[in-house]
């Protein structure tokens, strides 16, 4: 039976097994490949999306649990969102693969904390791995976005 949910402000339908992770519904069923697969175990944060405004790991979110709810992915984060603008202004990405997850995690932080400290950033962002080591720039970009 098809499961429907709100994806980036529009109705989305997926006729898949309810235990299918949201990650693979986004990527394979709906063709939205901005959300990345990194570890499949909620260890790296590459697949982070917003579920009803909260940052969640889509690799551990069964599509059945998403029915009727509101999902926002990197494609749905506004182009003029302060996080996206700060990421561009500071040239944060290197390989760029983890960055959609980093930006979704960071935007959820700023939605609740307008002026995060270094300790806040450490606590909130430490679930998102970047093997290119862009952490110093991510930290600076979060602070820049907070001021925007």
Partner 1 sequence: MENIKMTARRDFLKASAAVGGGLSLGFYLPGASKVAEAQAATHSPNAWIKIGTDNSVTIMCARSEMGQDVYTSLAMLIAEELEVDVNKVKVEFAPPAEAYINALLGGQITGGSTSVRDAWEKLRKAGASARMMLVGAAAAQWNVDAAQCKAVGGAVSGPGGKRATYGQLAEAASKMEVPKDVPLKPNAEWKQVGNVKQKRLDTPMKVNATATFGIDVRVPDMLYAAVAMPPMIGGKVASFDDERAKNMPGVKAVVQYSRGVAVVADSYWQAKKAKDLLEITWDEGPNANNDMRKVWGGLRDAAAQPGAVFREAGDADGALGSVAKLYEATYELPFLSHSPMEPMNTVAHVRADGATIITPTQFQQLVPFVVAGATGLKPEQINVITTFLGGGFGRRVEVDYTMDAAEISKAVGAPVKMVWSREDDMTHDSYRPGGIYKVKMGVDAAGKLVAYRYHGTSPSISSRLFPSIVKDGIDPFAVEAIDNFPYAVPNHKLTYQMFDAGITPGYWRGVSHNQNCYVVEGFIDEVAHALGKDPIQFRIDNLEYSEEKHKWSGLSAGQAVGGRMKRVLEDVKAKSGWGAKLPDGKGRGVAVMEGYNTVMAAVVDVTISKNYDVTVDKVTYSVDAGPLIHPDQAAAQIESSTIFGQSAALFGEITVKNGGVEQMNFDQYRVVRMNEAPKSIAIHWIPAAKDQPPGGLGEPATAVVTAAIGNAIFSASGIRVRRLPFSPENIKAFADPRHTMKPTNL
Compute how many residues bind partner 1; rule: CB under 8 A.
Answer: 56
Q: By CB under 8 A, which span of 4-12, 23-31, 49-57, 108-116 interacts with partner 1?
A: 23-31
Under 8 Å between Cβ of 21 and 84? no
For position 132 contacting partner 1 by CB under 8 A, the verdict is: yes
Q: Of 2, 9, 68, 79, which lies in the binding site for partner 1, with binding defined by CB under 8 A? A: 79
Contact set for partner 1, span 53-72 (CB under 8 A): none
Q: CB within 8 A of 44, min separation 6: which ones?
A: 38, 98, 101, 127, 128, 129
For partner 1, which residue of 4, 6, 30, 37 counts as binding (CB under 8 A)?
A: 37
26 binds partner 1 (CB under 8 A): no
- Residue 38 within binding range of partner 1, rule CB under 8 A: yes
- Does residue 94 touch partner 1 according to CB under 8 A? yes
Which residues contact partner 1 (rule: CB under 8 A)? 16-17, 20-21, 24, 27-29, 31, 33-34, 36-41, 43-44, 46, 74-75, 79, 84, 87-88, 91-100, 103, 118, 121-123, 125-139
């Amino acid at each position: 039976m098809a499961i429907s949910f709100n994806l980036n402000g529009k109705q989305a339908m997926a006729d898949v097994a309810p235990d299918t992770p949201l990650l693979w519904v986004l990527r394979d069923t709906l063709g939205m490949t901005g959300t990345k697969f990194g570890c499949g175990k909620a260890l790296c944060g590459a697949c982070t999306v917003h579920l009803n405004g909260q940052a969640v790991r889509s690799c551990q979110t069964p599509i059945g649990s998403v029915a009727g709810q509101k999902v926002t992915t990197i494609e749905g984060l506004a182009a003029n969102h302060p996080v996206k603008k700060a990421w561009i202004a500071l040239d944060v990405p290197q390989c760029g693969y983890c960055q959609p997850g980093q930006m979704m995690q960071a935007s959820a932080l700023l939605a609740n904390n307008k002026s995060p400290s270094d300790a806040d950033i450490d606590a909130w962002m430490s679930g998102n791995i970047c093997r290119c080591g862009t952490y110093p720039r991510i930290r600076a970009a979060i602070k820049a976005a907070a001021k925007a």
